[in-house]
Structure 1
Amino acid sequence: MRNYKDDWYHKGLRKQLVEQLRSKGITDEQVLNAINTIPRHYFLDSAFDKIAYEDRAFPIGEGQTISQPYTVAYQTQLLQVKRNEKVLEIGTGSIYQAIVLAEMGARVYTIERQKKLFEQNKQFFYITRYPNIKFFYGDGFEGLPSFAPFDKVIITAAAPFIPPKLVAQMKAGALMVIPVDEGDKQRMLRITKQPDGSCTEELFDYFSFVPMLKGRNG
């Protein structure tokens, strides 16, 4: 069961979380406003209600997690999202990251490979607030070629390499934010696609994500 009441208590916890993220170096006010708006406890079982706004990841089933708020904010800030941009997200998970992007005005195309999570997400009442999110069941390494090109791409799982099919689906000037490497820690990279089709890479901090897997499950 989930608690869908959002009262002064939850709003106060969100405000504290936003201040914590600000103290950790998140400066994008659009990102902070989105996190302050979205009731994170809606995405978790009511057993997590009192700790839903702690800055840590929680399990959501199928071996997946709802990412730590700092990780969500960090990746979103690197993505430099602008209103009405087309954003491809690989790894819907709990939908929290997709809703942060949608709250910022992006048109979000999100892929989930776990059938059970995909079906659960479609039943989540809160998504009716965000008609700018489109959900797909599929293999994230393949992307969504029929909806390309994209302005931005965000990967929310640890990729063993930069998927070439996703790069091919980016516009010239598009950004991709992706944690790369197998093992316990991943390098957070920002890829910029150049007009000639080549890419430049920027290296940021190290994070820990669940692995990005090929194919569909279920």
Structure 2
Amino acid sequence: MLKLEDTYLHKGKRKALVAELRKKGIKSERVLHAINTLPRHFFFDSALISHAYEDKAFPIGEGQTISQPYTVAFQTELLEVKPDDKVLEIGTGSGYQASILHLLGAQVYTIEYQKKLFEATQKFLKRLGIEMHLFYGDGTAGLPASAPYDKILVTAGAPIVPEALVQQLKVGGILVIPVGDRSLQTMVKIVKTGPNKIEREEFAGFAFVPLLGKDGWR
């Protein structure tokens, strides 16, 4: 079992990473503070742990990755998380992004499509003492039993914006989702301004693993 140690060296590397993210345009001090607080190396396999504070994505098994820190920060900043927001995350992965949301004070509901990854992350987050609502299933269908949500975050590349996610968003809520083909996506920020009305903003140039499920890639 990987020993969870957060040394001065790790903390120094996190501080340098935060400085790099700030230079790349991340402005939210709350998001930067969460990234500076959460030991990203805890979420890495021991063979890759020396790379934990590089601004890159790395594999975590089952064909999935832990997202690049800049991408995590960018998506989280777009989401505008407030304390006590009910946030649905599609694609739990390693649990790193969900843990950032948790540190921002959100009530986190997160769903993972890959069963082995779901089981491993569920055990790991319990070990860290991070409490959130974890589910196994098809995230493209959302999680209607706990809807509506203040914010919804999708952490895999989708071919379309699943209508179920828009429906499960509160009026005034925000959905952030990468949409495109299997290799390149545009980050889409959707603000639900009325029961059947949305505003949409787009940011090009992102690459995620494919979103799997009924309204994702099959």
Fold match by TM threshold 0.5: yes
| Identical-pair percentage | 56
Q: Is 1:116 the counterpart of 2:111 in the alignment?
A: no
| Structure 2 match to 1:50 | 50
CA distance in 2, matches of 1:127, 1:86: 23
Give the 3-state SS of the residue equivalent to 2:84 in structure 1. coil
8 Å CA contact retained: 1:41, 1:52: yes
| Structure 2 match to 1:147 | 146
CA distance in 2, matches of 1:57, 1:10: 18
One-letter amino acid of the structure 2 residue matched with residue 19 of structure 1: A
CA distance in 2, matches of 1:125, 1:189: 29
CA distance in 1, matches of 2:126, 2:40: 11
Moved more, 98-107 or 181-190: 181-190
CA RMSD of aligned residues (A): 1.2
Deviations 1:34-74 (A, max 9, x none): 00001111100122222110000000000000000000000
| Structure 2 match to 1:211 | 210
| Structure 1 match to 2:185 | 186
Cα shift at 1:129: 3.0
One-letter amino acid of the structure 1 residue matched with residue 151 of structure 2: K
| Structure 2 match to 1:15 | 15
Cα shift at 1:128: 4.6
One-letter amino acid of the structure 2 residue matched with residue 162 of structure 1: V
Moved more, 71-80 or 193-202: 193-202
Cα shift at 1:134: 0.6
Give the 3-state SS of the residue equivalent to 1:123 in structure 2. helix
CA distance in 1, matches of 2:126, 2:72: 19
Cα shift at 1:23: 0.3
CA distance in 2, matches of 1:63, 1:189: 24
Q: Aligned residues, how many?
A: 214
Give the 3-state SS of the residue equivalent to 1:141 in structure 2. helix
Q: Is 1:62 the counterpart of 2:66 in the alignment?
A: no
Structure 2, gaps ≥5 residues long:
none
CA distance in 1, matches of 2:125, 2:143: 25
Deviations 1:75-124 (A, max 9, x none): 00000000000000000001000000000100110000100001101111
Structure 1, gaps ≥5 residues long:
none
Deviations 1:185-210 (A, max 9, x none): 10101001122322111011320000
8 Å CA contact retained: 2:189, 2:200: yes
| Structure 2 match to 1:165 | 164
Give the 3-state SS of the residue equivalent to 2:213 in structure 1. coil
Deviations 1:152-200 (A, max 9, x none): 0000000110000111100001100000011321010100112232211
